[in-house]
Chains A and B, each alone.
Chain A
Amino acid sequence: MERKETPGEKIKQANREAVERMLAAQPVWVDVAKAGDVIPGMTRNMLLHAGPPQKYDNMCGPQRGAAWGALIFEGLARDAQEADRLLTSGKISIAPVHDHDSVAGAAQMISFSQAAIVLENRTNGKVYYTHMKEDTFIALRYGSYGDHTIKKLRWLADWIAPVLSKGLRKAGGINCREIIAKSLFMGDEGHNRNQAETCLFEQMFMPFLFESDLSKEQIFGVAKLLKQDENFFLYPVMASCKAILDAGKDVEYSTIATVMARNGTEFGIKVSGLGDRWFNAPAPMVKGLYFPGFSEKDANPDLGDSCITETAGIGGFAMAASPAIVHFGTATGVGGSVSDAINYTKEMYEITEAENPAYQIAYLDFRGCPTGINILKVLDTGIQPIINTSISPKEPGRGQAGAGLVRAPMDCFKKAFRAFAEKYGLTASS
């Protein structure tokens, strides 16, 4: 007679399942299209934001600015005041981007007409979305809503998107898994350093542009975009990470985190065995280095979906692959020492279930990236996931304030754990 499986065994088995699906993901960037045409459930009067559910009243400065900018871009408002009135009236739907199979960076508000990256997980055919960066500094995602921003959003949507689309279709999609893997051998970690990824993308992609029916000006537009933004590839990577993690969601009894995200006020996580529920705690302050003109006083609490990269095992989890990350001289330096960077990755092995064979770290004798955050291990060891990230200023429209390190709040994991125990009827005596 078979012995009944203990909860511990069920959890182990479920986690193995969830992580296997994540490791099997093959993210491919297949297209760029209008958000309203591709994002499920997208409507003309909808704004999608990063992190847990947020109401307009609760939004931090940069998100309000981004909301105004998006509405102005959509032609739904003429200026910030009108946008504000519209948003206060409740006529605009505001939803978490994760409810629509998407991710968004910093304070971005994705709206109907914006250019959206379309990324497919070739292993299961599911598709995910995100926006692009119209500017590296004065940008919608930092809360800018002036003419400059509106013009650049237009440029992205009308001039860049169609060109990228043609090239991507010609290429049959760009293999992001390959780019991420190679870039880890080249000093990127995938969240704050995407320079190698961007170079690799350009090398792979440009020939397809030339092969497509495009003018010199059109191709030059893309070249200019890449030249101005050496970390361009962050967003396809974010969408890739979303695809990887989403593959492992909804596995009963699994305690693997499928999302970590912030909305500038709260930091939230989702767990595979707990469906779509968010487990939130106040968003922490990032500890880091500031650009000239900025200091701690200017900083907004942690913001954006970019820590989807850490959730998937790269970014801060792969710092050992990217010692340059600590160097303040680079625009994305987070401070600390090289040995700190290596130790952070080593720490993350203590709270994850697998070492991703697709994404290896040469310095650690080619150990795979620590993948599959197990909330039980986070609680057991007291080690909170490390995230290296950019710092947004509180005031909208000022650009990036700096970069640094932050840890996912322990409270998120405690809340998730209690919910898990309740859902599965687990008590200390069961």
Chain B
Amino acid sequence: MKNENDSFHTMKPFFGKELVVVNIGISPFYDDLKKQNIKATHVDWEPPAGGDQEVVALLDKLLH
């Protein structure tokens, strides 16, 4: 039975074999990832509840 701590067993790389990135926020970071030919997606982010944090706090309680 494979044991992760077994020195004969190859450790699973912490960050995975290939980095697959999601960029949430400013798009230049996404553009730079594409320049490096990385598998990446961009989230065209908008603030929840029109930016109203009071609403967001309660929302989080109800949604998650």
* A contacts B directly (C-beta below 8 A): yes
Chain A residues packing against B (C-beta within 8 Å): 7-8, 11, 376-377, 379-383, 410-411, 413-414, 417-418, 421, 426-428, 430
Given A8-B62, A426-B62, also A379-B55 (CB < 8 A): yes
Most B CB contacts (10 A, CB to CB) among A11, A377, A428 go to A428
- Rounded to whole angstroms, the CA-CA distance of A185 and B48 in the bound complex is 34
Report how many A-B pairs have Cβ atoms within 8 Å. Answer: 52
Which residues from chain B contact A382 at a C-beta distance below 8 Å? 45-50
Distance between B23 CB and nearest chain A CB, rounded to angstroms = 17
- Rounded to whole angstroms, the CA-CA distance of A7 and B58 in the bound complex is 11
Given A8-B63, A376-B63, also A428-B50 (CB < 8 A): no
**Interface residue from B45, B59, B61, B64 paired with A379 (Cβ < 8 Å):** B59
**Interface residue from A11, A381, A430 paired with B48 (Cβ < 8 Å):** A381
Chain A interface secondary structure, helix, strand, loop or mixed? Answer: helix
- Rounded to whole angstroms, the CA-CA distance of A392 and B61 in the bound complex is 41
Identify 11 new A-B residue pairs, CB closer than 8 A, beyond the known A8-B62, A8-B64, A382-B49: A7-B62, A8-B61, A380-B49, A382-B45, A410-B49, A413-B49, A414-B50, A417-B59, A426-B62, A428-B58, A428-B61
- Rounded to whole angstroms, the CA-CA distance of A60 and B46 in the bound complex is 32
B residues 9-27 with Cβ under 8 Å of A? none
| Count of B interface residues, CB-CB < 8 Å | 16
> Which B residue sits closest to A379, measured CB to CB?
B49
Which residues from chain A contact B47 at a C-beta distance below 8 Å? 382
Which residues from chain A contact B64 at a C-beta distance below 8 Å? 8
Given A380-B48, A382-B47, also A418-B55 (CB < 8 A): yes
- Rounded to whole angstroms, the CA-CA distance of A382 and B47 in the bound complex is 5
Contact A426–B58 (Cβ < 8 Å):
yes
Distance between B46 CB and nearest chain A CB, rounded to angstroms = 3
Given A8-B64, A11-B62, also A379-B48 (CB < 8 A): yes
> Which A residue sits closest to B52, measured CB to CB?
A414
Most B CB contacts (10 A, CB to CB) among A411, A421, A427 go to A421
- Rounded to whole angstroms, the CA-CA distance of A411 and B47 in the bound complex is 13
